Structure 1
């Protein structure tokens, strides 16, 4: 059997790796739009952007791809799927037949419709090349404007500020990361960035961007924000056009079942582009996270290697900003009751979110152990009493 994987990012790379780890003996073809073999993206806004590392963590190196007998093609942008004859065609004219096809095309940075957004000095962050371009502009005393107070924007802001840049963040909403964390954690992040010297503007939109000599000017009403570099971090657009053109079922991403199978029985999908059922949430969801891309890629690889396997993970993600590691498991909800273990003024604390008597989510600051325990409880459906969670003197590992 021949399996073709379109997309050589986190999800596609793990599909390929899992197939070989599970002793799949057929052909594996991996088609990537970038020049590099599969790599992990979290370092783009952290270690790579800070200069602490000069290359991202690779899922496969060049020699490993050869050793695993994976036929990897870089710079191969797939433009067409022929479902009747079962082949894909790349922009360079190459065609690859398949018995099973996996779509792991990920997403691209969302670019808002702002006049001047395409001027030199305005960047998005999605690839190694993007990270290198931004890194080349980082220097002590230079000015960076970040559009978007979400995870990417805040990580870029923290990295740039730590390197001595003057940083301003513009957020259209009224708090940071409003869609994914409770207001108390938004306020904690605000205080963390403000203490570091980052200026943050809420309820503010950029009307236009102009450039004069080497200075960028972002117009906000009657005022202007001046910058040497602008980084746009306002979300991701799933690369689902290929699936749409092929007639696959779509609904905020490619619709798949718990095995990663699409509406075409021989086509599968994994990662940021999938709308998949999630038992913990109790509904379909499309997740944009490192963990989902990896774990769903592994799940699809196991299915295609012949296992009876269903993808059923509790959502989890993390962010590193300054000296703070933030981790979230589950999906925080505004209607939940928050149980604090420790205080936002402590070096480490955790917020457990309950809806009725069910633990819906946990948000931990510099407390990864609490996240591991919360995951165990959530999977088991058994939770410590609230008084124990709130009492920092009570050992949680006994529950």
Structure 2
């Protein structure tokens, strides 16, 4: 393929903005156009449910300094909606009808929060958390306390609950599953997070869903559960996951995934889609991972950052596979944690090193004797060893993981 002269990136989140910066860092001298529908310059998402929502930070972590894009001759178009990708013409079209040509195209359109299709879902006082503006609006809503109902016991729901408690709110979390974070952590570790929140004053409503939102004068006043109970609420946070924004890709005829959880845009190991000069990264990429031998779609911060950096080389002419292990971190109250790899908690063997009750431990998930995932909770000295064990899917006897030096197990 001929070297590209003009690369267009649709999506100015972490993946897209990182790719733009890395293209310049790798010596690409052609045109780069970075297009996003938000008014803000590119920022990272973790602070939205952590520092900003806690009131500890006023701004997110910006991907680059404000003058970076001009200094590096990256054309940044904010508040710009792309409505169409025309592969045959090699152009994208914005909402005004302007056609923007490309030699290579990166789709990094991210995801949007899921909503609940129940009566009252359009009432004022219902919040989702995905953008900087969402975070600032939710902070303004919870910082005076009141009664907050969080729908969803995943990572965002748990972090939102912790932030609301810090601001003095009375918090109830509604989760259909038997425990928070159940699909990713299973029974034993999920119970750690349930107990953490209970000890910090959160009330759980587990194993039950939402039937409707009640309101007066257009504003939410309560949450009716499907067992009939009514939870009074001054505001509600709906945190039931996200869906990839694949509409552009679908309309353009790119292959979508029917195997990766949540769908996404099919890519090969190098993040190239079914169209040779079109790539996808971040939340929308259903990427074929060589180590796992299947497609993964990972919505976490590190995946967007690392895929954005990696895909830059392939946009400029490379064909290197992306092989990084998934990584995620969370801070809730006095608990900080990191998780590396992919666990199936209902299939894998759980091995715990440390003290669950004290919330100072490392959890390992083993499959056929090999370490497939590891989570360190309030223990910070073994990150490199944990990364190597997961990356190499090291085969280690469970007893050694419980007691022996972890760095010594890395071959």
TM-score, normalising length: structure 2: 0.93
Q: Say if 1:23 and 1:305, in contact at 8 Å, map to a contact too.
A: no
Which stretch shows the higher mean deviation, 321-330 or 138-147? 138-147
Per-residue deviation, 1:340: 1.1
Per-residue deviation, 1:319: 1.2
Match of 2:295 among 254, 274, 284: 284
Match of 1:92 among 96, 101, 104: 96
Aligned to 2:244: 238
Aligned to 1:311: 322
Aligned to 2:86: 82
Aligned to 2:164: 160
Per-residue deviation, 1:325: 1.1
Aligned to 1:256: 267
Q: How does 1:268-347 map to 2 (within 5 A)?
A: 268-333=279-344, 334-347=346-359
Q: Say if 1:363 and 1:371, in contact at 8 Å, map to a contact too.
A: no
Q: Say if 2:213 and 2:220, in contact at 8 Å, map to a contact too.
A: no
Q: Say if 1:215 and 1:226, in contact at 8 Å, map to a contact too.
A: no
Question: Secondary structure, in 3 states, of the residue corresponding to 1:367?
Answer: coil
Over 3 Å counting, the alpha-carbon distance change for 1:395 and 1:248 in structure 2 is same
Aligned to 1:16: 20
Match of 1:198 among 197, 202, 210: 202
Q: Say if 1:30 and 1:71, in contact at 8 Å, map to a contact too.
A: yes
d(CA) in 2 for partners of 1:105 and 1:143? Answer: 34
- Deviations along 1:212-251, whole A, 9 cap, x unmatched? 2666111123321011110000010110010000001111
d(CA) in 2 for partners of 1:173 and 1:247? Answer: 36
Q: Say if 1:3 and 1:27, in contact at 8 Å, map to a contact too.
A: yes
Which stretch shows the higher mean deviation, 52-61 or 191-200? 52-61
2:60 matched to 1:60?
no
d(CA) in 2 for partners of 1:371 and 1:281? Answer: 21
Over 3 Å counting, the alpha-carbon distance change for 1:276 and 1:40 in structure 2 is same
d(CA) in 2 for partners of 1:118 and 1:225? Answer: 18
Aligned to 2:373: 361
Q: Say if 1:14 and 1:298, in contact at 8 Å, map to a contact too.
A: yes
Q: Any unmatched runs of 5+ in structure 2?
A: 258-262
d(CA) in 1 for partners of 2:83 and 2:145? Answer: 44
Which stretch shows the higher mean deviation, 127-136 or 139-148? 139-148
Q: Say if 1:350 and 1:370, in contact at 8 Å, map to a contact too.
A: no
Corresponding residue pairs, total: 397
Match of 2:229 among 223, 229, 235: 223
**CA RMSD after TM alignment:** 1.4
Aligned to 2:408: 398
Q: Say if 1:37 and 1:61, in contact at 8 Å, map to a contact too.
A: no
Question: Secondary structure, in 3 states, of the residue corresponding to 2:142?
Answer: coil
d(CA) in 2 for partners of 1:141 and 1:269? Answer: 41
Q: Any unmatched runs of 5+ in structure 1?
A: none
Question: Secondary structure, in 3 states, of the residue corresponding to 2:7?
Answer: strand
Over 3 Å counting, the alpha-carbon distance change for 1:382 and 1:202 in structure 2 is closer
TM-score, normalising length: structure 1: 0.96
d(CA) in 1 for partners of 2:232 and 2:111? Answer: 30
Which stretch shows the higher mean deviation, 215-224 or 7-16? 215-224
d(CA) in 2 for partners of 1:329 and 1:398? Answer: 19
d(CA) in 1 for partners of 2:120 and 2:394? Answer: 53
The 4+ residue runs of structure 1 with deviation greater than 6 A are none
Q: Say if 2:12 and 2:36, in contact at 8 Å, map to a contact too.
A: yes
Per-residue deviation, 1:363: 1.7
Question: Secondary structure, in 3 states, of the residue corresponding to 1:182?
Answer: helix
Per-residue deviation, 1:32: 0.4
Per-residue deviation, 1:330: 1.3
Question: Secondary structure, in 3 states, of the residue corresponding to 2:224?
Answer: strand
d(CA) in 1 for partners of 2:362 and 2:47? Answer: 25
